Structure 1
Amino acid sequence: MNTTDGIPGRRSLLKYGAALAFGIPAAVALAGCTVEDPLAKQAKAGDNKNYIAGDGSVTEYAPEKRGKPVDISGKLFSGMQASSEQWRGNVVVLNFWYAACAPCRKEAPDLVALHETFSPEGTLFFGVNIRDEKATADAFERTFNIPYPSFNDKDGQVLLSMTSYVPPQAVPTTIVLDKQGRVSARILGLAEKSTLKALISDAVAE
């Protein structure tokens, strides 16, 4: 754990807070032991729940702890193809959503504002819509003036490639990719604006 004068650094505190949110004992959280993601475990259980609500918990991954670059490809609602190979060298924010998801609607204005803040620096934003037909997604994007494109992922292609980080049906989930295309941070559930801004800023500064 990175510390300054014995005080845990912000990255460590974010991990600690995420662990506590899942009910992991403090001693285990501070020790950095590997535990199975409870939402992923619930998703794998096959208990026929239609919705898995994230609790807004945050996980930030230190550069040396990140895995390989993600491999994502799919079709946007515009009809254009997009893939993670095109994003190398840019920080990328992926937001998993669908129109009837209440927290997705609540966080939409904050995502728009963060796009306006970070896109001039080269940060890319993409939505990943896991449920809606094009007309429904288009109506949502008009309502909230969404300026960035979304994947039409009703077939689950993008979600499947991200299941190590995004439990099926855990929506919304927001992922930050570093400039190498690796996952640097994840928010399960509603993305609090100041928290997501800090996570993006960390990735941009690397």
Structure 2
Amino acid sequence: MASAIVAVGLLAGCSSDPLAAQYRSGDSKQYIAGDGTVTEISEANRGAAIDFTGTTQDGQTVTAEQYRGQVLVLNFWYAGCAPCRAEAPALETLNSKYTGNGATFLGVNVRDQAQTAIAFDTSFGLTYSSVIDTDGAVQLALSGQVAPNAVPTTLVIDKQGRVAARILGQATAPDILDTLIGDAVAETS
């Protein structure tokens, strides 16, 4: 019996899961970084529409329903996340491009209080709002869907409220995110 427990323990330590390896590294960076993997979901294979309610850093209530009929870009982030800081200017550039052109950006701050999110917006010139999701309500709304397993993660939600694409980790190639958003905007359904 003892040898079986040791064998299970050894096998568990041999995991090739990169997220688990980051966790076990003990480097204290305080987040699990994605690797930039892009997942696209064909219209026929998309799950049900997501449903969430949240409060922005300015105290406004937002719901998933408000965004139906347009593409919603959800970016999961927090202020102390270095990749989040690195991608912020590119996200704002795309936000400016798509505002009034079929897509809306909404940040989902997973860790900070409102004042920290406001300071981040000011520092990086962000003009779109963020839900303060320290209770995980928006993240929970995505369970069973293509979840934001790392910070940052960016999701493209189609006009019907379904997850169309995910970038797991920093959106290092803004052209890819631009294409994902543009494709979702161009969909007729």
CA distance in 1 between counterparts of 2:79 and 2:109 reads 8
Q: Distance in 1 between matches of 2:31 and 2:84?
A: 13
Q: Which consecutive aligned stretches of 4+ in structure 1 deviate over 6 angstroms post-superposition?
A: 46-49
Q: Which residue of 2 aligns with 1:195?
A: 176
- Measured against aligned partners, the alpha-carbon deviations of 1:120-158 in whole angstroms (never above 9, x if no partner) come to 213111000000112211111000110000001111111
Number of residues paired by the alignment? 165
Say yes or no: does 1:126 pair with 2:115.
no
Q: Tell me whether 1:139 sits opposite 2:139 in the alignment.
A: no
What is residue 172 of structure 1 aligned with on the other side? Answer: 152
TM-score normalised by length of structure 1 = 0.75
Tell me which structure has the larger Cα radius of gyration. 2
Alignment partners' CA distance in 2, 1:92 and 1:178: 7
What is the aligned partner in structure 2 of residue 100 from structure 1? 80
What's the CA shift for 1:51? Answer: 2.3
**SS at 1:127's partner residue?**
strand
What amino acid does structure 2 have at the position aligned with 1:196? L
Partner of 1:152: 132
Q: Is the 8 Å Cα contact of residues 157 and 165 (structure 2) preserved in structure 1?
A: yes
CA offsets 1:14-33 (integer angstroms, 9 cap, x no match): xxxxxxxxxxxxxxxxxxxx
| Cα distance in 1, alignment partners of residues 38 and 102 from structure 2 | 23
- Matched residues in 2 for 1:130 and 1:47: separation? 21
Q: Alignment partner of 1:89: what SS?
A: coil
For residue 205 of structure 1, the aligned residue among 183, 186, 189 is 186
Partner of 2:47: 67
What is the CA RMSD across the aligned residues, in angstroms? 2.1
Distance 1:179 1:48 in 2: 40
Identical counterparts, % of pairs: 50
